[in-house]
Every structure is written in C-alpha cells, then in structure tokens.
Structure 1
C-alpha cells in the first residue's frame, strides 16, 4: 500500500476516491518508563523507552488505517496526517491518530 502525505502520487493517476480512513491507538505510560525517562531528563539525551513505545503506537495506528483502506478496496492512501495528543487524568495517556484519503490508483 502506497501512503503519502501529499494529495497526489507522482506518476500515478487516482482512478477513484474510496473515502476517509483513520487509525487510532491510545497508550498509557507506566512506572518503569517514567523512571527511565526521568533519569534521561536529568542527564540529557533521548528517551529510548518512550521513543520505542511511541513508534509501536504510531505503527499500530498506521496498521489500523491501512486495514480500513483495504476493506474499501483502496491500494493507496493520500493526504496522510498524524496527530499526537496527551489525554487522560494528569496526562497519563497518549493517543496517536492517523488519517488520510483511501484511493484506487489506475
């Protein structure tokens, strides 16, 4: 499945617009990752614990969006957009949402 943030795919013609597709995943932080992130915050650097969780969450949202597009008979998604939002009591959870337009390429 071709996925792009642009409204077209260079060199390809969009034969049909199938509809808007989305994928959302909500994750909760846990104590272990919070401790590792706090340590990284003190000494500086990147938080591998949070980054890997964020990557897994983003990939899960993409998988949901792709599955929705396949069900509509699409073979590409254009105009893909990611949103990252902190939700829940005290910002204890994060949502990754991705959306785009499912299309059939000629």
Structure 2
C-alpha cells in the first residue's frame, strides 16, 4: 500500500478513485501516563508519556486506514491526513483518512 499526503503520486497514474477511507481509534489516558506526564510537566520540555500515547494512537488509526483501503480494493491512499478530537476529558479520538485509489506505474 502506497500512502502519500500529496494529491498525486509522481511516477504513477490514478486509474480509479474508490472513495474516502478512514481508520479510527479512541484512546484514553491512564493513571500511569497521567502520573508520569504530571511529573514531566513540572520540569518542562517533552512529555514522553504523552508522546508515546499519541504515537500509539496515530499508528493504530493509520493501520486501520490501510486495512480499510485494502478491503475497498485500493492499492494507494492519497491526501492522507490525521485529525484528533477530545471526546471527553482524557478520551481522544484519532482519525486517519484519505482518498483510496488504484494506481499504476507510468
């Protein structure tokens, strides 16, 4: 699966646009990450506990997007983006989405 944030794919021709694909996950913080994040926020700088949680959520949403694109019959995703929303305090939805297409090498 080829995934690009661009609207086209140099060296390839889009032969069919299938439609929008998306992968979603909903994650919550936990006591351990909150405790570590709270301690790290006192001294400032990068809060590793939250970075790990954010990266894990993005990876899960990305993998779900790829799975959906394959199920739709695509071999590439164009204009891939992430979006995140807080559903309630401590619970975040992460969405990976893009246009599922079939491409051929030129």
Q: TM-score, normalised by structure 2?
A: 0.93
> Secondary structure, in 3 states, of the residue corresponding to 2:8?
coil
Following superposition, the deviation at residue 98 of structure 1 comes to 0.9
Q: CA RMSD in A?
A: 0.9
Cα deviation per residue 1:13-67 (whole Å; 9 max; x = unaligned)?
Answer: 0010111100111111111111111111110121111111111110110111101
Q: How far apart are the structure 2 equivalents of 1:38 and 1:2?
A: 38
Partner of 1:82: 82
Unmatched runs of 5 consecutive residues or more in structure 1: none
Q: How far apart are the structure 1 equivalents of 2:52 and 2:30?
A: 14
Runs of 4+ more than 2 Å apart: none
Following superposition, the deviation at residue 103 of structure 1 comes to 0.5
Partner of 1:54: 54
Report how many residues are paired: 104
Unmatched runs of 5 consecutive residues or more in structure 2: none
Establish whether residue 96 from structure 1 lines up as the match of residue 94 from structure 2.
Answer: yes
Cα deviation per residue 1:59-86 (whole Å; 9 max; x = unaligned)?
Answer: 1101111011101111100011110111
Partner of 2:2: 2
Q: TM-score, normalised by structure 1?
A: 0.93
> Secondary structure, in 3 states, of the residue corresponding to 1:13?
strand
Richer in strand (by share): 2
